[in-house]
């Protein structure tokens, strides 16, 4: 049997056995941009590679030991998601910097307004985006 026939046979066996390599789950924040400015309530948007994933946004005020879980993101077509995130209290914390991370399929169950000690473990985590409150 030639190399080409062996390669095709291997692919057929992998597909039949369900061992086809899976794409690694990825999640990203597309807005706000790193270095951007946010209001007290700002929509955070992004993408996720698996439309069946559960995406959460975490906000960490710089200088604060807490990491705040925001409402679960709403998933849309083509892996796009959005979440209304909250940055401090209205009229307060102007100029304060916040770090934002999106996580997909967290290891631990998350709930809105949950306060964490660190970024949660998850199947996928976005890069951290740092913003400043207007």
Q: pLDDT for 65-79, tens place per residue?
A: 999 999 999 999 999
CATH number for the domain spanning 69: value is: 2.60.40.10
Q: Domain for residue 80, yes or no?
A: yes
* CA–CA distance, 69 with 4 (Å, rounded to integer): 51
Q: How many domains does the chain have?
A: 1
pLDDT digits (tens, 9 = 90+) for 27-60: 999 999 999 999 999 999 999 999 999 999 999 9
- Residue listed under structure tokens 């998850």: 122
Q: Render pLDDT for 90-103 as a digit per residue (tens, 0 to 9).
A: 999 999 999 999 99
Distance (Å, whole) CA 27 – CA 15:
26
- Provide the pLDDT for residue 5: 45
Query: Is the pTM for the entire model greater than 0.85?
Result: no
pLDDT higher than 60, residue 14: no
Give the structural domain span for 77. 24-133
Residue 96 is assigned to a structural domain of this protein: yes
Beta bridge partners of 82: 45, 74
- Token digits of residue 107: 């290891």
Is 85 among the domain residues?
Answer: yes
65 inside domain: yes
Please give the helix or strand (H or E) that residue 10 lies within, else none: helix 3-17
């Amino acid at each position: 049997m030639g190399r080409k026939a062996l390669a095709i046979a291997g692919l057929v066996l992998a597909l039949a056995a369900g061992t086809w390599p899976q794409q690694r789950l990825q999640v990203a924040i597309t807005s706000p941009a790193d270095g951007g400015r946010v209001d007290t309530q700002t929509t955070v948007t992004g993408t996720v590679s698996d439309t069946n994933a559960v995406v959460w946004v975490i906000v960490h005020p710089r200088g604060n030991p807490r990491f705040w879980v925001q409402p679960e993101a709403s998933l849309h077509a083509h892996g796009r998601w959005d979440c209304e995130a909250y940055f401090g209290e209205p009229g307060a914390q102007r100029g304060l910097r916040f770090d934002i991370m999106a996580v997909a399929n967290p290891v631990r169950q998350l709930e809105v307004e949950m306060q964490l000690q660190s970024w949660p473990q998850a199947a996928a985590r976005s890069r951290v985006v740092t913003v400043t409150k207007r």
